[in-house]
Amino acid sequence: MRRTFFLISMLCFAAIMAVTQDASAASERDFRYIAPIAGAVKKGMLYRVHLTPDILQKCAANCTDLRLFDSKNGEVPYIILNDTSPGQPVESYTLKIIDYTAAKNGSTAEITMQMPDTFKPITVISIGIEARDFQKGAVLYGSSDLKQWQVLAEDTLYDFTSQVDLRKASIHFNSSSYQYYRLKLSEPDEQQKKINLTYEGLKLTVNDEAAKKLKISSVTGLTTASPDIISVYDNMAFSGFKTQTTANKGTAITLEAALPFNRIYFNITNPYYNRRVRVSYSDKGTEGPFTALAGTMGIYAFPAYQTRNFIEFTSEKHQYYRIEIENRSSPPLDIKEIKFEWIRKHIFFVALRDDDSVALHFGYLPIERPDYDLSSFINQDNWFKRQYETLKAGSASPNPAYKPTIGKSGVEKTILRVIVIALVLLIGYWIYRLALAAKSR
């Protein structure tokens, strides 16, 4: 009896281990989808690949089922990070004056300047002018070759500090990365010559008829300070969806988005509205059950008034979303489009060998999130400081090598079957032995 029990127990253990090992060991054939990465990779180089909406929709939540394989079916460690980085302070560059011409009477002047060899796009030119009490019309141009010039801004430079604390010696324009700049100064036209000022309740009139020569000591280009955190977003729009009327006369929309989101935008044609919105999710199907993500959030719009046509909440990926809008006594909103927006995600990896074929594989639910050594060196706080090359992933498509394996629920069911069968065999054998013992008596 003991010997038989031992043999059956060992068989059960072997069956359980075999099934479990089959579920945990992953190869290319275990993944339903594949997205090849364009371009060859070199051993030891760090690469970044954008995870497109197409890939995110077919991955598990947070892409826990994503794996990277090379041409020899070797698993390549990676890490997935959001495209967020710290903001940048204002940087300044001293421009070199390479040409200067001016009229003898000082009525006009033309200054040509050059940026240093390395620089970031600038949005401000600040002119060092020592003079006081002046007013000049200014036109700023940009060029890459000193031949073709593009007008960047037209402005007025002035100083009235002998009478009031008012001075303007800088020109603002859209972000520009030109190597060369040209500033043309001229006397203001008749309308600009006379400026009426009100300063702390005191009305002043400044009238400068004589042309004044300006001595320019320096010209500085300035970048624009960026926010504390810079985030790059992806988005996907949905249209042609059906709406339903809820029991309380609200509007319900069910979308199979299969995406995460930080914001959901609504393209609404109604001239004004003020509604409350609730979002819930389901990973089972369009019939739910649905679980609420957060409380109600407001959207509103009115002519000549602030508009907020989006809700803001961070959610990981879910297959289905149900959006409910409270209408109260108002007619339903005419919603043409719903757009999901989320922080862009990238996969970073270091090539383990020179290779011409590296591909993303995903769509294998039983697998868990990997824990590679790479996360100790590349993370959310330092990726933007690393030198990397950018590669592009192709569209997600069915994996031709895919061979369905037992899923997580299948593993659990198989283990349960093995245990039940073993117990039935043991009980049957025990009853059989009892019957034999009873006959022998």
Are 309 and 337 contacting, i.e. CB atoms less than 8 angstroms apart?
no
pLDDT classification of 98: cutoffs 50, 70, 90: very high
Q: Is 9 strand, coil or helix?
A: helix
Q: pLDDT tens for residues 153-163?
A: 999 998 887 77
Q: pLDDT tens for residues 66-83?
A: 999 999 999 999 999 999
User: Is pLDDT at 12 greater than 70 in this prediction?
Assistant: no
User: Is pLDDT at 206 greater than 70 in this prediction?
Assistant: no
User: Is pLDDT at 21 greater than 50 in this prediction?
Assistant: no
Q: Which residues of 20-118 form beta strands (DSSP E)?
A: 33-38, 46-50, 67-69, 78-82, 84-86, 92-94, 96-102, 108-114
Give me the pLDDT at residue 378, please: 94
Higher-confidence position of 409 and 432: 432
Total-model pTM: 0.66
Give me the pLDDT at residue 87, please: 85
User: Is pLDDT at 186 greater than 50 in this prediction?
Assistant: yes
From the CB of residue 311, how many other CB atoms can be counted at a distance below 10 Å? 21
Counting beta carbons within 10 angstroms of the beta carbon of residue 405, is it exposed (0 to 12), middle (13 to 18) or buried (19 or more)?
middle
Mean of pLDDT values over 12-31: 60
Around 278, how many Cα atoms within 13 Å sit in the side-chain half-sphere?
Answer: 13
Query: CA 190, CA 51: separation in Å to the nearest integer?
Result: 58
User: Is pLDDT at 260 greater than 90 in this prediction?
Assistant: yes
Q: Where are the CATH 2.60.120.260 domain residues in the chain?
A: 234-343
Residue 370, CA distances (Å) to 37, 194, 373 in order: 20, 71, 10
Mean pLDDT of the chain: 86
Q: pLDDT tens for residues 299-326?
A: 999 988 889 999 999 999 999 999 999 9
User: Is pLDDT at 172 greater than 90 in this prediction?
Assistant: yes
Give me the pLDDT at residue 207, please: 54
Give me the pLDDT at residue 270, please: 95
User: Is pLDDT at 405 greater than 90 in this prediction?
Assistant: no
User: Is pLDDT at 22 greater than 70 in this prediction?
Assistant: no
Q: Which fold does the domain 234-343 belong to in CATH? A: Jelly Rolls (2.60.120)
pLDDT classification of 141: cutoffs 50, 70, 90: very high
Mean of pLDDT values over 57-67: 94
Q: pLDDT tens for residues 412-431?
A: 556 666 677 777 777 777 77
pLDDT classification of 104: cutoffs 50, 70, 90: confident
Mean of pLDDT values over 214-243: 91
Q: Which of 3-7, 46-50, 124-128, 319-323 has the lowest mean pLDDT?
A: 3-7
Residue 167, both tokens: 């001075």
Give me the pLDDT at residue 372, please: 95
What one-letter code names the amino acid at 197? L
Q: Which of 208, 193, 188 is nearest to 108 (CA)?
A: 188
Give me the pLDDT at residue 18, please: 46
Query: CA 105, CA 84: separation in Å to the nearest integer?
Result: 54
**Angle (CA) 132 134 138, round 5°:** 125
Q: Which CATH architecture has domain 92-222?
A: Sandwich (2.60)
